A and B are shown apart, each in its own frame.
Chain A
């Protein structure tokens, strides 16, 4: 029984160490991605994540051109169930938070991260599927 528990724990620790390996090694700005023929980023696990061109163009239409060098993609949505009963998504990027709050209808205060609840997250993901990505964190 002890052996099986150790194996299970090893498996779970392995899972946990890989849980955020889908995040990009380096993010690119909106302007850089719009200029690429096949816009993509390389992930920590070595694979690639391609963006849909129409999503990039849609994002470019809601963000003013002077901010295109400030917003880095993919937009990371941190997921944590620390605060409320269910998981919440947190967008810390100030430019992304400002403009995405208008799409999701979430409350936004300048300088503070944007908090998204499950229905708002789902709505955002249905519009920006490749432009956003989840990161899993723990808030005690």
Chain B
């Protein structure tokens, strides 16, 4: 934790008041940024669990789809077979916001008509199911990357406030307050001495006249 102090040009009471206001602003900033960090982290972990489940699903679906493809291919040994099974996939990528972080929405555009018959239709359907899940997974993983970046940035801000700016200001305020207290004490002592001296002089002059 930083124990350095801010350099103050004029150690006056007005400056002390300014510092206290600044401290209050920093504490407010810290609370808001910390809340945001909490929400971003919560979103991140929620999507992480989703990504794990989607990844397992995608692996399973792709494995099944490829097995069916290979089996069907054996009975349709012509080069352009894959074109009968599925056309080039189309996805729409749109933007969205998650607590201020720019994320994406990926929509897999379904083909209107079913393809082929028999094993071709079956393989086509398996491939489409797999692609649907792949597009969902792409959306979630990309969003996770963006969230991760933003969480790193947000954490640095929160730490800067918590460990540098706020402790520095608090330390400076403490020093200024103790200086003012000391000055006040010195002033009181000085006044007391002056008062004692004046009283002593008054006492001596009365005796002299008397």
- Residues of chain A whose beta carbon lies under 8 Å from any beta carbon of chain B: 1-2, 5, 8-9, 11-13, 15-16, 18-22, 38, 40, 43, 47-50, 52, 79-81, 86-87, 118, 121-122, 125-126, 129-130, 133-134, 136-138
Contacts and interface: CB of A to CB of B under 8 A. Distances in A.
Which 8 residue pairs spanning A and B have beta carbons closest together?
A50-B94, A22-B100, A22-B97, A134-B99, A87-B35, A49-B97, A49-B96, A81-B35
B6 A50 contact: no
Contacts of A9: 165
Interface residues of B, number: 33
A126 B53 CA distance: 14
Interface in B31-67: 31-36, 38-39, 42-43, 46, 50
A21 B31 CA distance: 18
Interface in B136-157: 157
Nearest to B92: A38
Contacts of B128: none
Nearest to B42: A122
A80 B164 CA distance: 24
A12 B31 CA distance: 12
Among A22, A38, A80, max chain B CB count under 10 A is at: A22
Interface in B105-162: 105, 157, 160-161
Contacts of A137: 32
A22 B98 CA distance: 8
Contacts of B161: 12
Interface of B: 4, 6-7, 28-29, 31-36, 38-39, 42-43, 46, 50, 94-102, 105, 157, 160-161, 164-165, 168
B43 A125 contact: yes
A136 B35 contact: yes
A139 to B, nearest CB: 9
Q: Is the interface of B mostly helix, strand, loop or mixed?
A: helix
Contacts of B29: 12-13, 16
B100 A19 contact: yes
A80 B35 CA distance: 7
A123 B76 CA distance: 48
Given A12-B160, A19-B32, A79 B100 contact: no
A112 to B, nearest CB: 22
12 contacts: A5-B165, A8-B164, A9-B165, A12-B29, A19-B32, A19-B36, A21-B100, A50-B96, A118-B38, A130-B96, A136-B32, A136-B36
B165 to A, nearest CB: 6
A50 B105 contact: yes
Contact of A15 (B39, B105, B157, B165): B157
Given A9-B165, A49-B95, A50-B95, 18 more contacts: A12-B160, A15-B33, A15-B157, A20-B100, A21-B100, A22-B100, A38-B94, A43-B97, A50-B105, A79-B39, A81-B38, A86-B38, A87-B35, A87-B38, A134-B100, A136-B35, A136-B39, A138-B32
